[in-house]
Structure 1
């Protein structure tokens, strides 16, 4: 039996084949799951094209993380393709350019970073909840927010809020049998990473990681996400699983 046999997974954030989200969707299908993707605006055409590169083409529904109406309609839109969700991947993040200059950032720079990169986890959980039954799992992607990373600035603050939001989601959804966990992945050279001005500073991550780290390989993080959505972590929630080659354990 495959790890996700009979399960249906909602995956956000698929923009390119290099993204962790794409690899989660691919691996989930390979492990027996049906997959539904989200996208919004002009990016929907890109996501629809990428969806055809999965082992099985996946439907794409509209979800703009800055639009509460989309979250309110989420269960209805997903319900056009399935009557249940067993897993949800949160792979959503955005911050304006100004948010990557900590001391000079304005609230106008910071507010969307917090809304889209942190609050959206709660909004996604609530939007998906009507289709989720006991045993379901919400998994999000973070970069360890216990560190003030160079050049990450207000996105780092948003990730700290994101990690706290996960704990509150675990508290409130746990009685319904829904698990909420995060994967703290090492840096991956994705489309999202290109928006981080100081991303190249992470290029030497592997040299300081006990297991090494390949910034061009999203598969280790994707495997962790799929494992957390499976039935093999039935009593784990509110957790952050580090998939970073061990970097977090030894520092730099």
Structure 2
């Protein structure tokens, strides 16, 4: 028996096999879950191809987290109740990253926060009619309690995401819905490689993380996500679990 036997899980943000979301989807299936992926626009074709590489081919539904039409149609597209959501959606325009913090226009900041933070609330509320009691929502962050080099407004958006998760945990707790975060260390994902200068963060992680750090291994983060989706954390909500080799607790 797997820890997600009989559960249906929506996983967003699967674009490549190197992504944390793909690891979460694969591990969720291995633990007994039915997995539904979401994508939108031109990315739908990519996600559909990647879906075939899971242990069991997964259905892909259309969901643009900034589209009111898609959000309204989400319960119907899911085709029944679900027991969990993996939020792996983030985006910031190029002029919001890479050391240009002081020059970024508000339009770019607004875009980053809308896609990367507000989308968590939007998806949770849209799925609310079909979320079973005890459901788990897990979002991916990169610890925004500190300021990172080059992360700039994505760091601000992640701080908003983390706060959004806590407020969702507060307001959805009465319905038995848990909302938590997984903060992984730097990984060679599409999202990370698109940030100018991000390799500087990767370089120091292996030296300072007590457990070491493999930038290509997304499985530890995937395992944390699956664990938080399961019934093994029935009284945990509003929490951020670090999966970073212990880097977050070290000093200089």
Gaps of 5+ in 2: none
2: distance between equivalents of 1:70 and 1:199?
33
Alpha-carbon deviations, 1:128-158, whole Å to 9, x = none?
1111111100000000001100000000000
1:114 CA drift (Å): 0.4
Gaps of 5+ in 1: none
Secondary structure, in 3 states, of the residue corresponding to 1:108? helix
Q: CA RMSD in A?
A: 0.8
1: distance between equivalents of 2:194 and 2:247?
23
Cα pair 2:187 2:202 within 8 Å, conserved: no
1:120 partnered with 2:107:
no
1:109 CA drift (Å): 1.2
Secondary structure, in 3 states, of the residue corresponding to 1:192? helix
1: distance between equivalents of 2:234 and 2:67?
32
Report what 2:36 is aligned to.
36
Alpha-carbon deviations, 1:184-224, whole Å to 9, x = none?
11111111112211211122212110101111110000000
Count of matched residue pairs: 249
Map residues 60-75 of structure 1 onto 2, 5 A cutoff: 60-75=60-75
Alpha-carbon deviations, 1:105-125, whole Å to 9, x = none?
001111110000000000011
Secondary structure, in 3 states, of the residue corresponding to 1:241? strand
1: distance between equivalents of 2:58 and 2:196?
33
Q: Which runs of 4+ in 1 moved over 3 A?
A: none
2: distance between equivalents of 1:238 and 1:198?
31
Report what 1:238 is aligned to.
238
1:46 partnered with 2:43:
no
Q: Match for 1:93 among 80, 90, 98? A: 90
1:196 partnered with 2:189:
no
Secondary structure, in 3 states, of the residue corresponding to 2:145? coil
Q: TM-score, normalised by structure 1?
A: 0.97
2: distance between equivalents of 1:10 and 1:120?
14
